[in-house]
Amino acid sequence: MKILTQLKKYSAELVDLHHTLALMQWDQEVRMPRRAAEGRAGQFATLSALVHRREVAPELGVLLVKAEAQKTSLSVEDRALLRVMRRSYDQNTKLPEEFVAEFSRLTSQAQMAWLEAREQSEFAIFQPLLERLVVMARQQAEYLGYAAHPYDALLDLYEEGLTTVQVEGMFAELQVPLVALVKRFSGRLPPLAFAEPFSQTGQEQFAEHLLVAMGFDFTRGCLTRSAHPFTTTLGHHDRRITNRYAPKSLDFIFGALHEGGHALYEQGIAEGLAHSHLDDGVSLGIHESQSRFWENVLGRSRPFWQRFFPELQQAFPAQFAHTGLEDFVRGINAVTPGLIRVDADELTYNLHVLIRFEIEKGLIEGSLEVAALPRVWREKYRQYLGVEVESDAVGVLQDIHWAHGSFGYFPTYTIGNLASAQIWEAYKKYDPGFCQTLADGNLAKVKEWLAREIHAHGSVYLPQELLVRVTGAPLSVGPFLAYLEEKFSALAG
């Protein structure tokens, strides 16, 4: 068999097994009975160990070396496959099998503990697990290796090549202008409030309606409910979204648009990349650029709601019969420093991320103890956002990421926000009539451009490379700040 055929077969097998692991996680958050948690953790650890063994097999190392010797004769896609598999092989061979199994068992347990801790607003339930997670994450960084800071090793897992210094630089450029914008617009756009609850069924139906309008393909995915919305891939034709439904919140809309954006990226990957390591978004930052593009850039814009607000009014007359389009658009963009990251407006959101970045960095470098988190969380929220944290449930326990064992993930949210604005600039050049396009509800036009320019390529191009291809420039904070300035000035009149 040709080397490359062998490599592709190997890739397909690993992808199959990772999709199986993803199914176990999806089920864990969507359907699994509570007492099954410990057993599932064991099952997950068993399969993870088996997969890990395949991922670090010397035969794969040999295949990679042989394929690399033929590199110059390969197509762009095959070279990319080799790049992604090499990166994954190098990362994996650095982690001992025992470590992988224990980490996976620990994160399964931690997720259940986190759920309970959050329900009871009791950090102490989660604390011992988080302490073990931090120890293991530091260990992970040591195994993976880094040049300057142990946190670099973790950042790199989610955004190839990203460093602590870069993230610090990004926030240094953002922090002052963001705080100024928050000051200018805080309280100037009246938020929406609902006396009547939205029915669960009505929310589900409207979320589904929006997803269909965006072009989400329900024959290749589904929408279910979970505590924390997420998107996951269980196969080339199986990209699933979860959403959540609170009685008096518009989460169901922005959750659907956000996860829908992630899912469109995944569903848009070219058929030719199916069943391989390239059949995936290239990085979390680029992934987040897609979710935020739909959630914020389009989904909180006036032209988008010119088309959809009448339908929303029809679906929920008790809530919207007496609200006008302008009030609605101002309401969904209200700037209110708050406690919850996923509820944050576009101006305060990246300050939430900054807090998490500083805490993670402290935990990993050892300058911060887990036991101090509730206190530190309160202090930073007071300092950066001017709000008082009422309870751990709406404080340090609000995010599932650490329970997943994900440290270094949060900064990719800010990268996504910056990239979404930069991509929007490029789209507007392609379609100068973008206002009318949205007002007509012609989301297919936007989706097709995104699919062609970004989605179809899967992991073929590096994140920075892709961004330059699409926008003509590397990532910068300028387009994002300009987008905010223009949008909020217009809204505030």
222 is a site residue for a copy of itself (CB under 8 A):
yes
Which member of 1, 2, 5, 34 binds a copy of itself (CB under 8 A)?
Answer: 34
Q: Report yes or no: 206 and 252 within 8 Å, Cβ to Cβ.
A: yes
Looking at the Cβ atoms of 116 and 217, the one nearer to a copy of itself is 217
**Buried b vs exposed e over 3-40: b needs ≥16 C-beta within 10 Å?**
bbebbbebbeebbebbbebbebbbebbbebeeeebeeb
Q: Are strands 221-225 and 231-235 parallel, antiparallel or unpaired?
A: unpaired
**What are the tokens at 179?**
């705080």
Looking at the Cβ atoms of 50 and 482, the one nearer to a copy of itself is 50
CB of 314 to a copy of itself, least distance (A): 24
Tell me the H-state helices in 145-250: 150-158, 164-185, 200-214
220 is a site residue for a copy of itself (CB under 8 A):
yes
C-alpha 235: how far from chain center:
18
DSSP state of 197: P
**What are the tokens at 192?**
């929406």
Looking at the Cβ atoms of 20 and 436, the one nearer to a copy of itself is 20
Active site residue 288: no
- Selected range binding a copy of itself among 32-40, 126-134, 356-364, 452-460, rule: CB under 8 A: 32-40
Q: Report yes or no: 303 and 253 within 8 Å, Cβ to Cβ.
A: no
Handedness of CA 23, 28, 31, 35 (dihedral sign): positive
229 is a site residue for a copy of itself (CB under 8 A):
no
Please, is 259 exposed, middle or buried when counting C-beta atoms within 10 Å of its C-beta (0-12, 13-18, 19+)?
Answer: buried
Taking the CA atoms of residue 83, residue 15, residue 448 and residue 259 in that order, the dihedral angle to the nearest 10 degrees is -110
212 is a site residue for a copy of itself (CB under 8 A):
no
- Residue 437 makes CB contacts below 8 A (sequence gap 6+) with 303, 431, 445, 446
d(CA 256, CA 229): 9
Q: Are strands 238-243 and 231-235 parallel, antiparallel or unpaired?
A: antiparallel
Which member of 234, 329, 370, 443 binds a copy of itself (CB under 8 A)?
Answer: 234
Which member of 5, 219, 432, 490 binds a copy of itself (CB under 8 A)?
Answer: 219
CB of 409 to a copy of itself, least distance (A): 26
35 is a site residue for a copy of itself (CB under 8 A):
yes
31 is a site residue for a copy of itself (CB under 8 A):
yes
Looking at the Cβ atoms of 280 and 346, the one nearer to a copy of itself is 280
Count of residues engaged in binding a copy of itself, rule: CB under 8 A: 38
Which member of 4, 10, 19, 153 binds a copy of itself (CB under 8 A)?
Answer: 19
74 is a site residue for a copy of itself (CB under 8 A):
no
Looking at the Cβ atoms of 34 and 322, the one nearer to a copy of itself is 34
42 is a site residue for a copy of itself (CB under 8 A):
yes
Q: Which residues pair with 241 in a beta bridge?
A: 223, 231
Choosing from 29, 55, 159, 259, the catalytic residue is 259
CB of 276 to a copy of itself, least distance (A): 12
Looking at the Cβ atoms of 22 and 192, the one nearer to a copy of itself is 22
270 is a site residue for a copy of itself (CB under 8 A):
no
- Selected range binding a copy of itself among 22-30, 59-67, 296-304, 463-471, rule: CB under 8 A: 22-30
Which member of 3, 32, 74, 481 binds a copy of itself (CB under 8 A)?
Answer: 32
- Residue 248 makes CB contacts below 8 A (sequence gap 6+) with 193, 194, 196, 197, 198
237 is a site residue for a copy of itself (CB under 8 A):
yes
d(CA 75, CA 84): 14
Which member of 3, 47, 213, 368 binds a copy of itself (CB under 8 A)?
Answer: 47
1 is a site residue for a copy of itself (CB under 8 A):
no
Looking at the Cβ atoms of 177 and 202, the one nearer to a copy of itself is 202
DSSP state of 148: S
* Residues acting as catalytic residues: 259
- Judged by the rule CB under 8 A, the positions of this chain that interact with a copy of itself are 12-13, 16-17, 19-20, 23-24, 27, 31-36, 38-40, 42-43, 46-47, 50, 217-222, 224, 234-238, 240, 274-275
